[in-house]
Amino acid sequence: MLTFAFDVGETIIRDDRYWASWADWLDIPRHTLSAVVGAVVAQGRDNADALRLLRPGIDLDAEYAAREAAGRGERIEEADLYPDVRSALLTLRAAGHRLVVAGNQTARAAELLRALRLPVDAIATSGEWGVAKPDPRFFARLVEFADAVPDRIVYVGDHPANDVGPAKAAGLRAAHIRRGPWGHLWADEPSAAAADWRLNGLTELAAITT
């Protein structure tokens, strides 16, 4: 059996609410923020740079705290999951595979994800671990977390540079999903082609058996 490890944003959850909430909080038109996010993604930059471009000098940590204090902090709900998530996870679990979730998210996001009671064995985030992708230490921690040898772990993610390349470098196998801005924009790049599997949806994971 295999261990499937899932990225979070644009792999199991949609980021629509996240960016819409930032646009509303900063009083920026949603389309404007979406377009700038797309631009920084195309440049290979941190997507948070979109907020820094639109609000020069912004202190993101302070804004996070202010949003929480105002009751407008992070939210992850059932509606944020991609429609194929639960069915794909249940199919993989029924086949006897171990399932974990580990991505670049805050510690609060980990709590919210656990509250959804996904059919997985464990959930962790970079905010809890203190190290984020593509740092090799994230994937070293993931191997320990997954409790499996690297070549029996399949890391599933949308971002070639953050997910596919570093996972392969750590000795894991990788499945790239064509989903979200990163998954589509770089789907035909060599970094994505390095993946062991190319997916259009999570239900396709059921075909992976070795």
pLDDT the model gives residue 60:
92
Task: Quote the CA–CA distance of 151 and 132 in Å, as a whole number.
Answer: 21
Task: Quote the CA–CA distance of 152 and 182 in Å, as a whole number.
Answer: 25
What is the domain partition of the chain in residue ranges? 3-14+78-207, 16-69
**Of 1, 3, 2, the residue nearest 146 (C-alpha):** 3
| DSSP H or E segment with residue 19 | helix 16-25
**Lookup: tokens for 119:** 């059919």
- The structure tokens 């009083």 sit at 27
In the chain, the DSSP E strands lie at 3-6, 98-103, 122-125, 153-157, 173-177, 197-199
pLDDT the model gives residue 41:
83
Residues of the chain with pLDDT under 50: none
pLDDT the model gives residue 4:
98
Amino acid at 11: T
pLDDT the model gives residue 27:
95
CATH pick for 3-14+78-207 out of 3.40.50.10860, 3.40.50.1000, 3.40.50.970, 3.40.190.10: 3.40.50.1000
pLDDT the model gives residue 44:
79
Q: What angle do CA 157, 158, 160 make, to 5 degrees?
A: 95
Task: Quote the CA–CA distance of 139 and 143 in Å, as a whole number.
Answer: 6
User: 31 burial class (0-12, 13-18, 19+ CB within 10 angstroms)?
Assistant: exposed
Calculate Rg over the CA atoms of the chain. 17
User: 73 burial class (0-12, 13-18, 19+ CB within 10 angstroms)?
Assistant: middle
182 phi, psi to nearest 5 deg: -70, -45
**Lookup: tokens for 46:** 């941190």
